[in-house]
C-alpha cells in the first residue's frame, strides 16, 4: 500500500464524496421498507426539553469531538478573512452583519452533525468522513435547496444591513472600523442604526428558525421534499412559539459567544448545537 500525505487525505475524501453525489439509494439510506408512511405529528414541548436536548447534544459531541472539531476548524479562518476583507475594502459597516450572519447560515454547517447524530441513533460509525456520506445520500438535493434558501436570506440580510447604514449615515463607504464604532456610539443616529439593525436582524433570525428547526434534520431522517419539510417546521414553530423562541435566543447567544472569541468558539459551539437540534427535532416530530 502507498502511504498517503495526511494533509491531502481529508481533501481526497471530500473529492471522492463529491464524485459520488446522490449515489446511495433510498432503501440503503433510509431503509424505506421499514419506514411507516404516516404524516408527521407535531408535539408540544416545554422549556425543560431544551435543557434535555442540550445535554444530549453535549453527550453526542463527547462521542465525536475530535471529528467535529476537525470539520469546524476552517470556519474561524473563513469568517475572519471575510470580516478583514470587508473592512479593508471600505465596508467596515459589514463586519458585524457578516459575523452575526453565522446565526442565519448555521443550520447549513450543522448538517454534518445531524448526520452524525442520526448515525449514532442507528449504532453506526459517526466519524467526520462518515458524515460526508450525506453527499451520497438521496437527500442531497433537498439539502442543497434548503442551503440555497438560507444563503439567499444571508445575502438579503447583508444587503439590508448596508442599506440601513446608508440610510443613517448618508455615506456610501464606512470609515476605519474604530472610527465608525466611535461615531455610532456617540451619536443619536448611530444608536438609531444599532436599534434598527438589531430589530431587522431579529426578524431574519426568527424566519430562519421557523423554516429550519425541523426541515433540515427532517430531510435527512425521511424521504420528504422541502415543501413538506418546511411546512412541518412552520407548524412546529407555531405550536411551540415560546420554547422555540427561547431556543433561538439560546442558539444566538451561544453563536455570538463563539464569534466573540475570534470565531474559535464556534469550533465547539456549532457541533453541540447541531447535535442538540437533532434531538430537538426528535421531540418536536413523531411518526
pLDDT tens sequence for the chain (287 residues): 444 454 444 545 555 554 445 556 666 667 665 566 678 899 999 999 999 999 999 998 888 765 555 555 555 566 666 666 666 666 667 778 877 777 788 888 788 888 888 888 888 877 767 777 777 778 888 889 999 999 999 999 988 988 888 887 766 666 666 666 666 777 777 788 888 888 998 999 999 999 999 999 999 888 888 999 999 999 999 999 999 999 999 988 887 777 666 566 677 788 889 899 999 999 999 88
pLDDT at 148: 93
Neighbours of 172 (CB within 10 A): 10
Q: Identify the three-state secondary structure at position 101.
A: coil
pLDDT at 20: 46
Contacts of 130 (CB under 8 A, 6+ apart): 115, 116, 119, 124
Q: Identify the three-state secondary structure at position 175.
A: coil
Whole-number Cα distances in Å, 135 to 73, 144, 227? 20, 10, 21
Q: Identify the three-state secondary structure at position 42.
A: strand
Residue 68 sits at φ, ψ, to 5 deg, of -65, -45
With CA atoms as reference, report the closest residue to 41 among 236, 211, 279, 247.
236
pLDDT at 241: 97
Instruction: Using the Cα atoms of residue 108, residue 113, residue 118 and residue 124 in order, give the sign of their dihedral.
Output: positive
Report the largest interatomic distance among the alpha carbons of the chain, rounded to a whole angstrom. Answer: 68
Report H helices in the chain: 9-19, 26-30, 47-72, 74-88, 95-100, 102-109, 111-121, 128-131, 140-169, 177-186, 188-212, 215-221, 226-239, 241-260, 266-284
- In whole angstroms, what is the distance from residue 95 CA to residue 87 CA? 7
Q: Please tell me the pTM assigned to this model.
A: 0.79
* R_g (Cα) of the chain, nearest Å: 20
Cβ atoms of 255 and 103 within 8 Å: the answer is yes
pLDDT at 230: 96
pLDDT at 9: 45
**Which cell numbers hold the place of 215?**
426541515
Whole-number Cα distances in Å, 72 to 158, 212, 214, 263? 23, 20, 22, 10
Whole-number Cα distances in Å, 129 to 64, 137, 273, 275? 11, 14, 20, 17
- In whole angstroms, what is the distance from residue 46 CA to residue 7 CA? 45
Amino acid at each position: 500500500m502507498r502511504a498517503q500525505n495526511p494533509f491531502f487525505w481529508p481533501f481526497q475524501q471530500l473529492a471522492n464524496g463529491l464524485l459520488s453525489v446522490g449515489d446511495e439509494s433510498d432503501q440503503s439510506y433510509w431503509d424505506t421498507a421499514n419506514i411507516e408512511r404516516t404524516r408527521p405529528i407535531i408535539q408540544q414541548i416545554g422549556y425543560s426539553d431544551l435543557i434535555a436536548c442540550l445535554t444530549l447534544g453535549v453527550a453526542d459531541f463527547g462521542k465525536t469531538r475530535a471529528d467535529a472539531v476537525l470539520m469546524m476548524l476552517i470556519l474561524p479562518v473563513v469568517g475572519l478573512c471575510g470580516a478583514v476583507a470587508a473592512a479593508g475594502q471600505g465596508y467596515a459597516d459589514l463586519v458585524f452583519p457578516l459575523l452575526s450572519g453565522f446565526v442565519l447560515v448555521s443550520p447549513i454547517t450543522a448538517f454534518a452533525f445531524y448526520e452524525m447524530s442520526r448515525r449514532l441513533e442507528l449504532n453506526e460509525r459517526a466519524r467526520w468522513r462518515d458524515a460526508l456520506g450525506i453527499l451520497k445520500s438521496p437527500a442531497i438535493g433537498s439539502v442543497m435547496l434548503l442551503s440555497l434558501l438560507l444563503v439567499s436570506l444571508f445575502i438579503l440580510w447583508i444587503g439590508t444591513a448596508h442599506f440601513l447604514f446608508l440610510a443613517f449615515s448618508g455615506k456610501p463607504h464606512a470609515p476605519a472600523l474604530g472610527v465608525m464604532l466611535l461615531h455610532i456610539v456617540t451619536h443619536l443616529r448611530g444608536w438609531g442604526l444599532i436599534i434598527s439593525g438589531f430589530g431587522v436582524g431579529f426578524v431574519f433570525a426568527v424566519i430562519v428558525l421557523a423554516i429550519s428547526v425541523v426541515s433540515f434534520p427532517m430531510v435527512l431522517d425521511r424521504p420528504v421534499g422541502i415543501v413538506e419539510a418546511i411546512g412541518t417546521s412552520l407548524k412546529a414553530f407555531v405550536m411551540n412559539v415560546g420554547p422555540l423562541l427561547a431556543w433561538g435566543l439560546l442558539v444566538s447567544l451561544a453563536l455570538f459567544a463563539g464569534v466573540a472569541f475570534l470565531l474559535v468558539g464556534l469550533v465547539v459551539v456549532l457541533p453541540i448545537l447541531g447535535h442538540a437540534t437533532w434531538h430537538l427535532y426528535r421531540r418536536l416530530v413523531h411518526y
